[in-house]
Amino acid sequence: MKKTLVKFAAMAALGAVMGTAAFAQDYPAKEIQGIIQWGAGGSTDTVMRTVTPHAEKVLGGKVVMKNMTGGVGAIATKFVYAQNPDGYALLMGAENPLLYKVMGLGDIDYSEFTPINILARGVPILVANNDAPFDTFDEMVEYIQAHPNEVKFGSTGPGGLPSVVTSMIASKIELPVTQVPYDGDGPALTALQGGAVDVMPAVLGASIEAIRGGRIKAITLIDNKPTEVLPDLPALGETHPEYADYFPWGPFFGVFVKNGTPEDVVAKLTEAYAEGAKSEDFVKLMADRGYIIESLSGQEAQDFLTKWQSLTTWLLHDAGQTKASPEEFGIPKP
Amino acid sequence: MQALEYFLIPWLDLKLLFLVAAGTFAGVYVGAIPGLSVTMAVSILIGFTFTWDVYPALCLMVGIFMGGVYGGSRTAILLNIPGAPSAIATAMDGYPLAQKGQAGEAIGIATVMSFVGGLIGIIVLAIAAPTVSEFALVFQPRDYMLLAVLGILLVGSLSGESLVKGIFAGAMGLLIGTVGLDPLTAEERFTFGLTGLWGGISFIAVMIGMFGVSEALMQLHHVDKTAVKQKISRIVPNWASIRRYLPLSLQTSSIGVLIGALPGTGGDIAALMAYDHAKRVTRNPEVPFGQGAKEGLVAPETANNAAVGGAFIPMLTLGIPGDAVTAIMIGALYIHGLNPGPMLMIEQPQMFWFITGALVLANIFMLIFGLTGIRIFTKIVEMPRTVLIPLILLLSIVGAYAVNNSISDVYWMLGFGVLGYFMKSYGYQLGPVILGVILSRLLDENWRRAIISEQGSIAGLFKGMLTSPLSLVLLATVVLIFVSQTPLWRCVRGKLGLESRP
């Protein structure tokens, strides 16, 4: 009885190995699911829907994309985590899962996944209502310090880009502001135009059209060098070198598969998305929206994620915005 | 002149014309099925039309949007199940009309009035878009909060016989709306540690359960009764009655455009507010409200379709979505290489007029598709109950599942259906529950934003309310409506020698 069981197990294991091998050769043999963490029409959605058709051509298969929203992307992340690691479920997400652990949103983050491609990175920018009585970073800081808690900063809740940027700035100077939370950067930027908030740390891509239209004014770019989109805008890392170490930092978009996916499948997907990231459509979209194409894969992508997580979680932790210390999860200090 | 040229693009190109028509037709039926929402249809279309040119893609989306907002009234009138949240108010007087055998007439009025409302919305979009969007931006968190309070006061007109029961139902709705991750801080609320509750309880599931399933259960009481024979002699309302409702429809359409143009509020709230407005201003309805008053049908149907034009106002002038559907459309414009924002009107004026043209066209197709096929639809109500009840249940289950492709939504829906049945049996109206769920988030978020902005000072909040003209007007309206529903008002009126109306 025991022997048969062992034999059976061995055969099953062999079968599984052979199955996988056969599988990987003719991957993709069926439709691939692409689970997008954010809603239709949002920036993650736009990025994924632009790049994927070009990746499909290289893959020679179909990627069916589906939006699975909720829980700051955690629902989609958990869903893909629950699938078999066979390369037929791709997680198409943004930076948020790297903060789940410290924000108390669950234990599954990108460490459970293999990055296929970190496609692009957004550049944060500080924008203000046109009537705000300051135009530069120094004037803003001076005004804020002279009027403690009176200046309203738009926010998207703890862990969102605005809260990280605000923590970055506040890590070097006194910054007594009131943070007003909104559902996302869209509604917060709307509130900025209407004067319900005075300053908003936003991603360049989301605010660029309003800046071009003269609806809001740009204060400083949160990066080390100015952007081509707004060449006259000073970069904080240049004007205030004490911040330079933090940058480049920004939200990012990436495609992931669950750990344990066969290596040749990962290789094939990596190749496909690397090609996709070179496509004209994608390059144009990223340039228009002020995103910087990264197209990182393999170890480079892994390093990017590690650095990002370490810097951001510790910043948030030091600002008192986390529920658990990054130390608990073995996230090293930057 | 060039504007007219752009405006006529969808009219003169046969393919675009067909796509608007197809979109509108599909929209009417997507809208009529509870659970299949316009938002969902448009997000599916984004993937589907990815490789298309921008014009055909927009034609299809505009058609679905217009048709879908109207389509919700179909099932609301025939089965008392609103096909979409914006048709909740339509069910209140539409369904009683169907029960009286006037379903055909009710659908006819709803269709024509949707057309009127849609047209007014588009006219405002075409001639006053920049002004309206500037005005919409003036709304501060405290104003949204006052708007939500104004909405909560509708409990007064939705609670039927007992105001106390209405308030209870409304409070329950507000509570249901708070379940899930707190939108401002991502803190868990009433989730009991279950990650499945993070996303909250699907509002559509509550709506389908409360209206669809509870209605089916109620009807089980009289399975043996024969269905009401429908009179279908007159479907298209005559000119006299349209003229009669014109003043009201102009008022409710303005409510619709404005609420639609505000980012964060949409057709559902617009329709409920319009219903309340109609109830307030109609002195002598032929039939009391709630029992089949035509005014109760005119108001929400004009308002929710006017909100469509309204939603496009901030989208086309500023790149700010007026509601969930326009939010997705902004994404679609990005995908097609356009940059929606304040510069869109200046750099790409053809987009503005093209969309306006497509909207007018969709509105006309809506009228055509709406008025045809009514005869067949009214047969639904004449079906024997033994067929109708399982059909309603099936439709409810499919609808609830379709929202998120989640079976737990079906369980929620069934649970709320049973709860709704008992509530109805004990004289609790279900309208206030849905109202509470709709407004919960608006009230919750904006009250907190308003008080955070004032650094936690109540005095500061009131000072802000009293110094801003907009907030002052909203506050005064809230106080006036509130007082008018209390005995104090009658007392004051009596003293002033004014005749009090019932």
Residues A141 and A215 in one domain: yes
The domain spans of chain B are 1-141+204-405
The Cα of A2 is separated from the nearest Cα of chain B by a number of Å equal to 41
Which pLDDT band, with edges at 50, 70 and 90, does B289 fall under?
confident
Query: Is A287 within a domain?
Result: yes
Residues A223 and A142 in one domain: yes
The Cα of A253 is separated from the nearest Cα of chain B by a number of Å equal to 16
Query: Is A25 within a domain?
Result: no
- Relative to beta strand A89-94, strand A124-129 is unpaired
Identify the domain boundary among A205, A221, A246: A246
**Which of the given ranges, B264-278, B320-334, B398-412, has the highest pLDDT on average?**
B264-278
By C-alpha distance, the chain A residue nearest B51 is: A53
Residues A283 and A170 in one domain: no
CB contacts under 8 A, B 158-217 vs A, are: 181, 183-186, 195, 198-199
Rounded Cα–Cα distance for residues A98 and A326 (Å) = 11
Identify which of B314, B341, B448 has the shortest CB distance to residue A212.
Answer: B341
Whole-number pLDDT of residue B338:
81
Q: Token digits for A60? A: 């020679």
Residues A129 and A242 in one domain: yes
Q: Token digits for A11? A: 């055969």
Find chain A residues with C-beta within 8 A of B51's C-beta.
Answer: 53
Query: Range of A306's domain?
Result: 32-122+250-329
CB contacts under 8 A, B 447-466 vs A, are: 448-449, 452-453, 455
**Which residues are CB-contacts of B398 (< 8 A; sequence separation ≥ 6)?**
B33, B35
Rounded Cα–Cα distance for residues B314 and B323 (Å) = 10
pLDDT in tens, B454-464: 988 899 899 98
Grouping H, G, I as helix, E, B as strand and the rest as coil, residue B352 is helix
Which CATH number do you get for residue A163? 3.40.190.10
Rounded Cα–Cα distance for residues B469 and B135 (Å) = 12
**Which residues are CB-contacts of B268 (< 8 A; sequence separation ≥ 6)?**
B84, B85, B86, B88, B304, B438
Identify which of B137, B141, B184 has the shortest CB distance to residue A157.
Answer: B184
Rounded Cα–Cα distance for residues A285 and A283 (Å) = 6
pLDDT in tens, B366-381: 999 998 878 777 887 7
Residues A224 and A170 in one domain: yes
Identify which of A40, A157, A288 has the shortest CB distance to residue B46.
Answer: A40
Query: Is A313 within a domain?
Result: yes
Residues A169 and A254 in one domain: no
HEC states along chain A?
A: CHHHHHHHHHHHHHHHHHHHHHHHHCCCCCCEEEEECCCCCCHHHHHHHHHHHHHHHHHCCCEEEEECCCHHHHHHHHHHHCCCCCCCEEEEEECHHHHHHHHCCCCCCHHHEEEEEEEEEECEEEEEECCCCCCCHHHHHHHHHHCCCCCEEEECCCCCHHHHHHHHHHCCCCCCCEEEECCCHHHHHHHHHHCCCCEEEEEHHHHHHHHHCCCEEEEEECCCCCCCCCCCCCEHHHHCHHHHHHCCCCCEEEEEEECCCCHHHHHHHHHHHHHHCCCHHHHHHHHHCCEEEEEECHHHHHHHHHHHHHHHHHHHHHCCCCCCCHHHHCCCCC
Task: State percent of chain B over pLDDT 90.
Answer: 35
Which pLDDT band, with edges at 50, 70 and 90, does B143 fall under?
very high
Q: Does the pTM of the predicted model rise above 0.90?
A: no
Identify the domain boundary among A246, A263, A296: A246
Query: Is A12 within a domain?
Result: no
Which pLDDT band, with edges at 50, 70 and 90, does B502 fall under?
very low
Residues of chain A with pLDDT under 50: 1-3, 5, 11-22
Whole-number pLDDT of residue B275:
92
Between the alpha carbon of residue B87 and those of residues A4, A181, B64, B430, the distances in Å are 64, 31, 16, 14
Query: Is A5 within a domain?
Result: no
Between the alpha carbon of residue B489 and those of residues B128, B277, B481, B493, B501, the distances in Å are 38, 18, 10, 6, 12
Determine, for residues A213 and B341 on separate chains, whether the beta-carbon distance falls below 8 Å: yes
Higher-confidence position of B185 and B117: B117
Grouping H, G, I as helix, E, B as strand and the rest as coil, residue B376 is helix
CB contacts under 8 A, B 346-405 vs A, are: 346
Residues A264 and A237 in one domain: no
Whole-number pLDDT of residue A112:
94
Grouping H, G, I as helix, E, B as strand and the rest as coil, residue B290 is coil
Find chain A residues with C-beta within 8 A of B318's C-beta.
Answer: 190, 193, 210, 213, 215
Determine, for residues B183 and A183 on separate chains, whether the beta-carbon distance falls below 8 Å: yes
Whole-number pLDDT of residue A1:
42
Query: Is A94 within a domain?
Result: yes
Higher-confidence position of B233 and B436: B436
How many structural domains compose chain A?
2
Find chain A residues with C-beta within 8 A of B65's C-beta.
Answer: none
